[in-house]
Every structure is written in structure tokens, then in C-alpha cells.
Copies of this chain bind each other. A is one copy, B any other.
Amino acid sequence: MRDSRFFTNQGPLSLAHILQATGALCALENAESRMFHDVASLEAANAEHITFLDNPKYKMQLAETKAGACLLREKHAPLAPPNTIALLCDDPYAAYAVVAALFYPPLLVQGFIHPSAVIAPTAHIAGNVHIAAGVVIGDDCIIGNGCIIGANSVIERGVSIGDNSHIGPLCSISHALIGMHVMIHRGVHIGQDGFGFAMSAKGHLKVPQLGRVLIGNHVEIGSGTTIDRGAGPDTVIELGVKIDNLVQIGHNVHIEEHAVIVSQTGISGSTRIGKGAILAGQTGVAGHLTIGAGARVAAKSGIMGDIPAGTNVGGYPAVAIKDWHRQTAILSKLIRTKRGSYDG
């Protein structure tokens, strides 16, 4: 099913193994010894595959699946066809993630330093670290056990990276302290100067940027994203934050635990994003604002003021999401009232 050039399947796995890893309950007795060979979607699965039903809008596809077993909520179990074993769980998508990672586990890190890597003698590299070709590591860096540093990445002086963190190829990192189990994809740039100038008509004077970037455990950062270091305070990305591709994080920004920042979003200097907040794609947030915990920001919003915790907002400038939908509806009505029938 998978392209074996890119993915190495660790199956088959017994249903007992799958149930133990996910905590799912098997609706069929005496099935624990059944072997499974892969994960697949409801449509693509056959009798050797585990599938899942998370979003109820795919219920119809469940009825027609050929999958050998399906991770689903108890209430959907009656919809499974006779040849598909129902595996009952509370969060089928999370359970699917666990099973997929059983079949396709992350590569085991094997201690290796490519001879073309350029590593300062004062850097401290733990024992079991993979450093690819062309990597450059500066003075006094600390690279923890189980780390991978991708080809041609550049880690500048003093940076520390916690255990089991993976840095993709072609990244640059400076002025940063990075936690454990962090995943940084390709082409990420962390720690460069923030955009700080004392501006005047005669020219703009550069203001030295004297802070750092602090990145917590279990953070993931997408390809091409840029994170500027603090101007005096630090730029902080807390535990479990997930950042997508091509995001811009300005100096002194503080992103609290488990917030999610989707692709091409930009966060201006000194803004704080609350715990668990979600900023959808292409959002822009002005500087010196507070986005409250659990706030949800619609794609492409322009945030020009503080957002209370738990609020849903959208629009440019962003307002409560219901108000934005009303604005859209009223504009749509006005052009019909005042200009006659629709001919777009």
C-alpha cells in the first residue's frame, strides 16, 4: 500500500498489540490473535487493514468498507459491516495515529557523525546523536541524546537542544534554548534579529536585539517558518505548541502551551497567544496584543485588538465570528437590494 521507497512497514501486528497500544475495546470475542498488515482509509482498506471512523459525515463509507477492523466510537459500532471488527474507543483519530505509528514508527536514531560535519571542539554532543553531512555546529553548543541534525543545517554558538529533538535539513538556529522531543522541519530559521529600528526620515537605526528564543518540549515547527529572537525579553514557545509552515513569529512573542498556529500566519512583536488558542491559516496579529486562552481565530483574520479567552473571531478587522458572518450576509443582501438581480 505505502511506497516502500519511503516507508518501512513494521507489520504485521496482532490485534492484541493494537488493542493494548490504543486502549480500544474489541467488540468481537477471540479476535486478539488476528494479524493486521497496515492502516488505510475506509474506502481503501481491505481485510488486512485497520481503518477508523472519526467524522460522522463518513458514516456511509463505514457501511461499505472492506476493512478488517475499524476504530470507532461505540455509538457507530452498529454501522460497521459484518466482516469489519469494531474497535471501540473515545477518540478514533487519536487511536488511528497510535496504530499508524506502530506500523510506521519514527526511525531509531543511531549515533553517527558524518565526516563532512564541522563541529566546534567546545560543542558537547551526546553519545547517540545523528549528525548528517554538511552540518555546522558552533562553540559551546549542547546537543542532547537521541537528537538528529539534518544535512547542511547550521547551529550557532551556545545553542542547546534537548534530548530526542529532530532538526530537519537546511535549518539555522542561533540564540536559542530548545527543549526535548522538539521537531523542527526543513528550512526553519530561529534566533535571527527581530525587526527593530529607531526610525526616522533620514534613515533607520538598528536596535541591538539582546534576547533569546526559548522553545519548550514537544513543540513542532513547520518548514520555512521564521522565529525572531527577543529584543530584550525572550521570544517564548511553550510546551506542545504546533506551528505550521511559513509562519512568522516576531520578537518577544510568547505562545502558551498547546496553541496551534496554522500556515502563513504572522504574529507581530510582543504579542501573547494564550494556552490552546488556534490561529487558522494566513492570520495576522498586530503587536502588543493578548489572544486569550482557547480563542479560535478563523483563517485570514486580521487581529487588531485583544481577543478574550474562549472567543471565536474572524474577519478583517476581526470581530466575533457570528458578527463576521452577519456582515457578509448583509453585504450580500445590500448589493441585491440596491443594484437589482444577481448577474455575477
Contact = CB atoms under 8 A, between A and B. Distances in A.
Contacts of A254: none
Contacts of A335: 323, 326-327, 330
Given A192-B168, A244-B195, A322-B344, A118 B94 contact: no
A163 interface: no
Interface string A309-339: 0000001110111110011101110110011
Contacts of A222: 192, 195, 226
A108 interface: no
Contacts of A326: 335, 339
A327 B331 contact: yes
A210 B246 contact: no
Contacts of A343: 322
Given A132-B136, A192-B223, A195-B222, A258 B201 contact: yes
A1 to B, nearest CB: 8
Nearest to A224: B226
In this complex, which of A3, A40, A266 has the most chain B Cβ atoms within 10 angstroms of its Cβ?
Answer: A266
A73 interface: no
B152 A101 contact: no
Given A97-B206, A116-B118, A323 B332 contact: yes
A328 B262 CA distance: 26
A110 to B, nearest CB: 14
A178 to B, nearest CB: 13
Nearest to A204: B242
A41 B233 CA distance: 9
Number of copies: 3
A232 B42 CA distance: 12
Given A245-B195, A245-B248, A5 B158 contact: yes
A124 interface: no
A158 B187 CA distance: 20
Interface in A172-205: 172, 174-175, 183, 185-187, 189, 192-193, 195, 197-205
A282 B321 CA distance: 21
B263 A250 contact: yes
Given A189-B186, A245-B248, A316-B316, A226 B226 contact: no
A245 B264 contact: no
Contact of A208 (B3, B104, B242, B323): B104
